[in-house]
Amino acid sequence: MLKSKQLLQQFSKEYAKYTPTNFKLKRALVVTKLSRYEFEQLRHPELSPDQLQQKLRDRGTDVEMVLHLHKVHKDFERRVVQSFQDVGCEVKLSSRSSLSKDVMSWADVIVPVGGDGTFLLSAGRASPLFALSQQKTPIVGFNSDPLHSEGRLMLPKHYSDNPADAVSRIKSGDFKWMHRSRVRTTMLGSNGKIPEPTDLFRHTEVKMEQVSTAPEMLDQDMSYKYKAKMKRVLPYLALNEVFIGEHLSARVSHLQLVLDHQDMVNKTKCSGLCVSTGTGSTSWHTSINRITSRDVDDLLRSLPNGNSKNVMMMRQNAEEIAHRYNQGLLFAPDDPRLCYSIREQICVGVWPSPKTFKERDFVQTVFVKSHCIDANLVIDGSISFPFNDGAKALLEVHPEDALLTIALD
């Protein structure tokens, strides 16, 4: 296994191959957010606007707030479109359902407008596995409602007040390229078939356009090691994380892991596995692993000299200690490593096996075998694949899979 610094240097050289040298902004594809109001309209197409609003009121929904947030988003969306048009750009709008290979390949830049969910959707389609060509189309996102959405993947919030300033800088080339690592998921098995995925947002099966993945034979070493004949890459890359676990959160997830193709098979019972990128380290990864000032205080009070002057002083700084610890969980978006986290690992009796198995660590690859009953492999909280007893997957990072984004600050 390469050391972190060597690996980053190796990936940096590869990233350079995919960095545009003559970027010209002429065509912008604006990807629109599906607002809560639009979502309800899709669920009840038979209802008129008045009937829909009455149904929502009867259900106890704050209709006025739903309509207000819908208007806030649409007003901002129009401002973004106008900003691109003002610098001479041709603009097309696309919704979640109308994104296609043709419209993605038409654009010089993809512009999700909304929150992180809209950005992740756009990133999923801006994939070398989905595109018509190997040329990467960059992405830059605008947060349409910074008062109610953190939007960590979007441009800084002050550009939500003045999107024209951001567009002007992009047009003039006053920005930096950022390559965000993504997780490639490869299913291993006997026939190379992929189970039907589900869109968790719409609770429907995903019917994606034909993608450039096909079953391949495993080489002899991999076939022997993982007891499989065929492999097939899933047509979705994870920008934030891949989660594997039982569909019912109250049920224990039984998994086997092999880290970095080592000979050791690690067995765990837990509440699921989260494999995160640097981009995703600000999201679920941090939520799983973060500590609070109360945790720090409880730990310090449990020490034999918990009432000593030095410990009492540290207890007064519990909030700062927790903050520093939580900041240490983050790693760079272009970091070529993955960080796996075992949620609520059972640590009694024979579990985990071996006892030295870490519940969190940096790796380059993770092989996972399921012993679950009704489990799923979920990509960026959006696309779900069945992953039940006997299912096998290999998670890894490749430089050519990185998402090309625009950074202003």
What SS3 string covers 24-82? CCCEEEEEECCCHHHHHHHHCCCCCHHHHHHHHHHHCCCHHHHHHHHHHHHHHHHHHHH
Q: What is the pLDDT of residue 73?
A: 96
Structure confidence by residue, pLDDT tens digits, 361-373: 999 999 999 999 9
Q: What is the pLDDT of residue 2?
A: 63
Q: What is the pLDDT of residue 126?
A: 75
Residue 274 in contact with residue 340, Cβ under 8 Å?
Answer: yes
Cα–Cα distance, 42 to 5 (Å, whole number):
49
CATH class of segment(s) 24-172: alpha beta
> Higher model confidence: residue 2 or residue 42?
42
Length of the chain: 409
Structure confidence by residue, pLDDT tens digits, 182-223: 999 999 998 878 888 888 876 555 655 545 578 899 999 999
Q: What is the pLDDT of residue 409?
A: 79
Q: What is the pLDDT of residue 210?
A: 46
266, HSE (Cβ side, Cα atoms, 13 Å): 22
Structure confidence by residue, pLDDT tens digits, 149-188: 888 999 999 999 999 999 999 999 999 999 999 999 999 9
What is the overall mean pLDDT for the chain? 92
Structure confidence by residue, pLDDT tens digits, 305-328: 878 888 888 999 999 999 999 999
Lowest mean pLDDT among 61-70, 133-142, 275-284, 351-360: 133-142
Structure confidence by residue, pLDDT tens digits, 343-386: 999 999 999 999 999 999 999 999 999 999 999 999 999 999 99
55, HSE (Cβ side, Cα atoms, 13 Å): 13
CB burial class (10 A; 0-12, 13-18, 19+) of residue 239?
Answer: buried
User: Is 295 a residue whose pLDDT tops 90?
Assistant: yes
Q: What is the pLDDT of residue 254?
A: 98
Q: What is the pLDDT of residue 121?
A: 87
Specify the domain boundaries for CATH 3.40.50 within the chain: 24-172
**Rounded percentage of the chain residues whose pLDDT exceeds 90:** 75
Which CATH code fits 183-286+331-401? 2.60.200.30
User: Is 304 a residue whose pLDDT tops 60?
Assistant: yes
Q: What is the pLDDT of residue 205?
A: 59
Residue 52 in contact with residue 66, Cβ under 8 Å?
Answer: no
In the chain, the amino acid numbered 326 is N
Which of 2, 33, 10 has the alpha carbon at shortest distance from 400?
10
pLDDT confidence bin for 77, thresholds 50/70/90: very high
